[in-house]
């Protein structure tokens, strides 16, 4: 009885945009994720990048040239790994900037290192089972919510499983599945903004004038069209060659 009440009480925040009926199996899978979560704590919003990119401005260079990297070998995974082994430890705590849930996952993996392979296999088996349970739900959501061009590319995606991860593990970006189905806003028109996912550090608002933002928007539209046409023709040629 308690389990049934728990399932009914589970909210489907990540599927709130869906106008159809959310099947009971969705709430069941969300309840399983909540019960099986290893790390139950919820992290606060990051205040800085955890990937070592704090010295890069938004819109600037994200990936350093090879000669500026700590390991100056880019070709060959084994060679890169062997070179990294010879480096002295980095200053400070290497995990100090990680989110609490990531630290928790690392501690759990370390504590269960002896049987980590078995635990991972069991978890994967359960996830495959949950994925099958939600396949019909995803088919209905995708057909109802995806525009034709999105459905052509991503119509087979298990969107209800993604939503169950968000609701079951209390992830912050509850609008992710809606944007996945409807389209992500890359460059909003003047006067509009990209929805805040709450998953990354906050970016200060642009200080550009309204006229400058409008010029940037039109420049993006022009370059996007050129790039889209390039991809279209390249894809068409590839299809013909096949």
**Is 108 domain-assigned?**
yes
| The predicted structure's pLDDT at residue 136 | 97
Separation between Cα atoms, residue 36 and residue 30, nearest integer Å: 10
Assess whether 218 and 105 both reside in one domain. no
What is the spatial distance between Cα 155 and Cα 106, in angstroms, rounded to a whole number? Answer: 34
Domains held by the chain: number? 2
Is 187 among the domain residues? yes
Residues 181, 149: one domain?
Answer: yes
Question: Tens of pLDDT along the chain (242 residues)?
Answer: 344 434 444 444 999 999 999 999 999 999 999 999 888 766 666 666 555 444 444 445 567 788 888 888 888 878 888 888 888 877 666 666 677 777 888 888 888 888 888 988 999 999 999 999 999 999 999 999 999 989 999 999 999 999 999 999 888 889 999 999 998 887 777 667 777 777 777 766 665 666 776 777 777 777 777 777 777 777 765 544 44
What is the model's pTM?
0.65
Evaluate whether residue 73 is within a structural domain. no
Task: Give the model's pLDDT for residue 49.
Answer: 58
pLDDT of residue 97: 65
* Residue 46 pLDDT: 67
Q: Which domain holds residue 239?
A: 208-242
Alpha helices for the chain (secondary structure H): 2-9, 24-36, 77-85, 100-111, 116-133, 135-145, 148-154, 159-168, 176-182, 210-241
Q: Are residues 196 and 214 in the same domain?
A: no
Specify the DSSP class assigned to residue 202. P
User: What is the spatial distance between Cα 179 and Cα 173, in angstroms, rounded to a whole number?
Assistant: 10
* CA-based nearest residue to 103, from 112, 95, 94, 111: 95
Residue 69 lies in a domain: no
Q: Specify the pLDDT at position 71.
A: 86
Q: What confidence score (pLDDT) does residue 132 get?
A: 97
Q: Tell me if 72 is assigned to some domain.
A: no
């Amino acid at each position: 009885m308690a389990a049934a009440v728990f399932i009914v009480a589970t909210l489907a925040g990540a599927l709130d945009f869906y106008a159809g009926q959310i099947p009971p199996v969705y709430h069941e899978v969300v309840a399983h994720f909540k019960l099986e979560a290893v790390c139950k704590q919820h992290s606060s919003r990051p205040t800085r990048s955890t990937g070592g990119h704090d010295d890069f401005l938004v819109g600037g260079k994200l990936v350093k040239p090879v000669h500026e990297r700590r390991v100056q070998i880019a070709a060959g995974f084994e060679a890169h790994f062997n070179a990294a082994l010879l480096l002295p430890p980095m200053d400070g705590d290497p995990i100090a900037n990680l989110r609490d849930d990531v630290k928790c996952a690392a501690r759990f993996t370390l504590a269960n290192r002896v049987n980590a392979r078995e635990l991972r296999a069991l978890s994967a088996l359960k996830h495959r089972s949950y994925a099958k349970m939600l396949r019909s739900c995803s088919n209905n959501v995708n057909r109802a919510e995806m525009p034709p061009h999105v459905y052509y590319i991503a119509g087979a995606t298990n969107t209800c499983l993604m939503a169950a991860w968000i609701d079951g593990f209390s992830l912050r970006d509850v609008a992710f599945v809606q944007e996945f189905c409807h389209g992500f806003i890359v460059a909003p028109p003047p006067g509009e903004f990209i929805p805040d996912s709450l998953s990354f550090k906050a970016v200060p608002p642009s200080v550009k004038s309204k006229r400058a933002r409008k010029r940037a928007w039109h420049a993006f539209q022009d370059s996007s069209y050129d790039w889209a046409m390039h991809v279209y023709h390249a894809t068409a040629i590839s299809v013909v060659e096949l």
